[in-house]
Amino acid sequence: PTGTELWRYERALEQRGLPIASQAGKGLFRRQEVQDMLALARVLADAGDSLALGALMRGPLVGLTEEELLDITAALPQNLERPHAVPRFSLLTELSDVTHPIARRTLSILQDLRWKSRATTPALLLAEAAEWLAVRPILAAREGDRSARAAANVEAFLERARPYGVTGLKRFVRDITRDWSQGVPSNEGRVDAEGDAIEIITIHSAKGLEWP
């Protein structure tokens, strides 16, 4: 296979519960854990991005249902200055207006991180967000045999943020959202072969190699 098509083989093997270790493919943005991290980054970069917050809250990292999100939004008070506007659930929402315990806790964490975004780098901010939201334990529980690969992809996402300095979060989000929307091939995290794992490698990379 070519690097851009490795994910097809990986997914087929993973769906059958077979351990794999492949040369890093190019489908980083296809991975659910990376889409979750992108939604997280978008929320922290733009407090008014209710779509990104909804995607994060509804995604595997938080796990709210659409019905729960609708109930949370419906319970928000009207803006007295804009009585005809429909309230939006965003990082600008007052904590006291949210009664759902999981949503309230997550919103509190995100609001605290949002304040820190002005004085820290995107890589450090997102790494701290991953810790506070228990991203790695959630991946370990959710992904099973694929947890190492999922964790490696989160690290690959964080690595892409490292070149950006303090106050560079919005630029990072703009750049990575552009790459995601344009389908730019991006390297996934590398997981080395262990034990009886099936190793996948491209024809190009296999040149000159020998297996016993």
pLDDT digits (tens, 9 = 90+) for 5-17: 666 776 677 677 6
Choose from 22-26, 86-90, 165-169 the range with maximum mean pLDDT: 165-169
Comparing 11 with 88, the larger pLDDT belongs to: 88
User: How confident is the model over 70-91, as a mean pLDDT?
Assistant: 85
CB-based burial of residue 131 (10 Å sphere; 0-12 exposed, 13-18 middle, 19+ buried)? exposed
pLDDT, position 30? 82
- State both tokens at 161: 């943020």
User: How confident is the model over 148-153, as a mean pLDDT?
Assistant: 85
pTM of the full predicted structure?
0.78
pLDDT, position 1? 46
pLDDT digits (tens, 9 = 90+) for 123-142: 999 999 999 999 999 988 88
pLDDT, position 149? 80
Q: Which of 7-11, 124-128, 198-202, 206-210 has the lowest mean pLDDT?
A: 206-210
pLDDT, position 206? 47
Residue 184 DSSP class: -
pLDDT, position 66? 94
CB-based burial of residue 87 (10 Å sphere; 0-12 exposed, 13-18 middle, 19+ buried)? middle
pLDDT, position 172? 97
Residue 198 contacts residue 23 (beta carbons within 8 Å): no
Conformational region of residue 144, where left means phi above 0, alpha means psi within -120 to 50, and beta covers everything else = left
pLDDT, position 21? 56
pLDDT, position 195? 52
In order of their start, the domains of the chain are 1-23+191-212 (no CATH), 29-189 (1.10.486.10)
